[in-house]
Chain A
Amino acid sequence: MSRMSVLQSLVRPNFNFAVDVTVPLSGTTGVYGPSGSGKTTLLRCIAGLEPDAVGAINVGDAVWQDANGRLSPSQRSVGYVFQEPRLFSHLNVQQNIEYGFQRRTGDADIREIATMLGIEALMNRPVADLSGGEAQRVSIARALASAPTILLMDEPLASIDQRRKSDILPFLDRLQASSTLPIIYVSHSLDEICRLCDHLIVLEDGCVTAEGPLQDVLLDADVPALSGFETSAVIDAQVIAFDSDDELTTVRFSGGDVLLSGHIGETGQQIRLRIHANDISLTRGSEDQTTILNRLEVEVEAIHHGEGATRIVRLRAGKEKLLARITRRSVEAMRLAPGEQVTAQLKAVAVRQS
């Protein structure tokens, strides 16, 4: 598989950025970390917008930067979606989208891109008349129309108010599903990342603290940025039934069936579940009466130290893994140990359809 390797360092007052990271040139790679951790800097380095950054960048067989020199931003075939739309105010929507298309020799289909992003009707509008969500969709279209070899997205939802995010997320899902274009997606929302990405890079204080397939990185109990509320695991599952009386959807994965409230998707559809460690409790076997719908038979794989007097228990459910955060007292009271069979009760499950 083709890869991009990024070795960059940049020294600023109060901020040292030094990363050495490999990004697969397929699928969507999430870059996650707290504010000021260097997420945007990483994208800017890749795009060539940080002239003071030293190091090397290789994209497949192409060299974008090494000790001998560097390509200017216009020579790197990136599509960059910034936090703000950054549309050119003297051009209308169509002219904005055509700006990169005319300058790069790609085979982008502007009409198809516009349809995918739902902006066909806006093409003749001045950009000042667009809402925040529309403007951001136009900026995504503009980046795609330049037929990039990789799409860099820097918190494209950050400048859009919460209610309007749902105007864009479905388009991002569609973009991923319909193209083979590799995407690097920066966000400080792990929910967005779990929804969109299959590879994850975690940045803290200008350094990479974890990288790898999304599922694996999430299970790494030693990454500070993934502690606390964010501790979670993701599972890919398939919709198998919908009970219209109880309004419950049944989804299946190798570890069992899970019931989700509402009509989640059509039968056969693949969906991704995110399950927070705080939403799992453990019991031993017995048929207790409980309001919790979802109970999975799991095996304890490992017990790690969590924050304070908590423990993070890694569980195996079929071929998938889950994390549960429980108190040290509970671990001792239940005498939990690796290899034991227990029942995991899921209080809540976040869902992403694909």
Chain B
Amino acid sequence: MSEPLWLSAQLAITTTSILLLLSTPLAWWIARNRSVAKPVVQSLVALPIVLPPTVLGFYLLIVLGPAGPIGSWWVSLTGSTLTFSFAGLVIASCIYSLPFAVQPLVSAFEAIDQRDLEAAWTLGADRRDTFFSIAMPQARRGYFNAAALSFAHTLGEFGVVLMVGGSIPGETRVVSIAIYDQVESLNYAGAHQLSLILLSIAFVMLLTMFIVNRRGGTV
């Protein structure tokens, strides 16, 4: 019973960590760029919001599968397949939850006053230093929101996981899949238990996020 929960938590934590790292330069570029490529990048990042998870899952299955470009490279590197493995799930989750990490960061970076950055430059901070000492601390709310949203969203994903990961106990059988299996086998009591836990976690996380944002206080 607790194995799928633990697996979901691992997946969500790993995905959230990777996404915060990847989204930082991506969101900074989107927030600070005026080039023609910007709307294209923005659309690509937002695609997972509008696409049915099955479409995303289908393409990921092809790309990550043993015959796909990334999947075959992975096989030659590790000897095992990406699809129907935890690593494959992490990659799929990162793509699936990408907009939920990027969007809050873009908003936070856009709110940073260019004039503050200029002031930091004239005080001897180079651009990299300015990013870490001014932009990131001032965008801390954005980081908090990005982490909360991508964690909750990864926890709740189903379609993509089902297509890319299947339902291998201890490897890819996360909570949402476990619930589906319980319902399929008409074990409503088990489904109830897991669903209630998931619902509670999601609610508490969102509640925390909205309370923090309403307070306008420090994270």
Smallest CB–CB gap between A252 and chain B, Å? 43
- B residues near A84, Cβ cutoff 8 Å: 115
Taking the nearest CB of chain B, how far is it from the CB of A136, in angstroms? 13
Q: Mark A63-84, 1 if CB is under 8 A from B, else 0.
A: 0000000001110111110101
Q: Across the interface, do B124 and A88 meet the contact criterion of CB distance under 8 Å?
A: no
Q: Is the CB of B120 within 8 A of A78?
A: no
Which residues on A sit within 8 Å (CB–CB) of B115?
A: 82, 84, 86
Once the chains bind, are A104 and B138 in contact (CB under 8 Å)?
no
A146 to B122, CA, bound (A): 9
Q: Which residues of B contact A89 (CB under 8 A)?
A: 116, 138
Chain B residues with CB under 8 Å of A99's CB are: 120, 123, 125, 133
Contact of B123 among A48, A72, A90, A103 (CB under 8 A): A103
Evaluate contact between B122 and A80: CB separation under 8 angstroms: yes
How many A-B pairs with Cβ below 8 Å? Answer: 63
Q: B132 at interface (Cβ–Cβ under 8 A)? A: no
Residues of A within 8 A of B3 (CB): none
In-complex Cβ contact of A90 among B118, B126, B127, B138 (8 A): B138
Q: Is the interface of A mostly helix, strand, loop or mixed?
A: loop
When the two chains form their complex, are residues A88 and B120 in contact, meaning their CB atoms are under 8 A apart? yes
Q: Closest B-chain residue to A85, C-beta based?
A: B119
Judge whether A142 is part of the interface by a CB distance below 8 angstroms.
yes
How far, in Å, is A40 (CB) from chain B's closest CB? 12
Q: Does A47 touch B at the CB level, under 8 Å?
A: yes
- Bound-state Cα–Cα, A104 to B123, Å: 8
Residues on the A chain within 8 Å of B125, using CB: 74, 99, 103
Given contacts A86-B116, A88-B134, A103-B129, contact A72 B121 (CB under 8 A): yes
Contacts of B123 in A (CB 8 A): 74, 99-100, 103-104, 142-143, 146
Digit string of B119-162 for contact with A (CB within 8 Å is 1, else 0)?
Answer: 11111111101000110011010000000000000000000000
Interface string of B58-73 (1 = CB under 8 A from A): 0000000000000000
CB neighbours of A293 from chain B (8 A): none
Q: Are A74 and B119 in contact, with the CB atoms below 8 A?
A: no
A48 and B121 CA atoms in complex are apart in Å by 9
Interface of B is mostly: helix
> Chain B residues near A80 (CB, 8 Å)?
119, 122
Question: Is A11 an interface residue, CB under 8 A from the partner?
Answer: no
* Whole-angstrom CA separation of A90 from B108 in the bound complex: 14
Which residue in chain A gives the minimum CB-CB distance to B134?
A88
List chain B residues, Cβ under 8 A from A158. none
Of all chain B residues, which has the CB nearest A78?
B122
Q: Evaluate contact between B121 and A49: CB separation under 8 angstroms.
A: yes
Q: How far is the CB of A147 from chain B (nearest CB, A)?
A: 10
Q: Give A90 to B137 CA distance when docked, in angstroms.
A: 7
Q: Which residue of A lies closest to B130 (CB)?
A: A74
Contacts known (A88-B134, A89-B138, A90-B138); A49 close to B124, Cβ less than 8 A:
no
Q: Which residues of chain B are within 8 angstroms of A82 by Cβ–Cβ distance?
A: 115, 118-119
The answer to whether B116 touches A74 (Cβ under 8 A) is: no
How many Å lie between the Cα of A88 and that of B115 in the bound state?
10
Judging by beta carbons under 8 Å apart, are B121 and A74 in contact?
A: yes
A310–B138 alpha-carbon span in the complex (Å)? 58
Residues of A within 8 A of B127 (CB): 72, 74
Contact with A along B167-200 (1 / 0, CB 8 A): 0000000000000000000000000000000000
CB contact under 8 A between A79 and B120, given known A88-B134, A89-B138, A90-B137: no
Tell me the bound Cα distance from A104 to B121 in angstroms. 11
Hey, which chain B residues are within 8 Å of A142, CB to CB? 123
Q: Are B126 and A72 in contact (CB under 8 A)?
A: yes
Interface string of A28-72 (1 = CB under 8 A from B): 000000000000000000011100000000000000000000001
Interface code B205-217, partner A: CB below 8 Å = 1, 0 otherwise? 0000000000000
Cα separation A134 to B138 with both chains bound (whole Å):
22
Which residues of B have CB within 8 Å of A103?
123-125, 129
Q: How far is the CA of A79 from the CA of B125 in the complex (A)?
A: 12
B134 to chain A, nearest CB (A): 6
A residues with CB within 8 A of B? 47-49, 72-74, 76-80, 82, 84, 86, 88-90, 99-100, 103-104, 142-143, 146
Q: Given contacts A74-B122, A74-B123, A99-B123, list 17 more A-B pairs with CB under 8 A.
A: A49-B122, A72-B121, A73-B121, A74-B124, A77-B124, A80-B122, A82-B115, A86-B116, A86-B118, A88-B119, A89-B116, A90-B138, A99-B125, A100-B122, A100-B123, A103-B123, A104-B123
Interface residues of B (CB under 8 A from A): 113, 115-116, 118-127, 129, 133-134, 137-138, 140
Contacts A/B (CB < 8 Å), 29 sampled = A49-B118, A49-B122, A72-B127, A73-B121, A73-B122, A74-B124, A74-B126, A74-B127, A78-B122, A80-B119, A80-B122, A82-B115, A82-B119, A84-B115, A86-B113, A86-B116, A86-B118, A88-B116, A88-B119, A90-B134, A90-B137, A90-B140, A99-B120, A99-B123, A99-B133, A103-B123, A103-B124, A103-B129, A104-B124
Identify the 6 closest CB pairs spanning chains A and B, nearest first. A100-B123, A103-B124, A73-B121, A80-B122, A86-B119, A104-B124
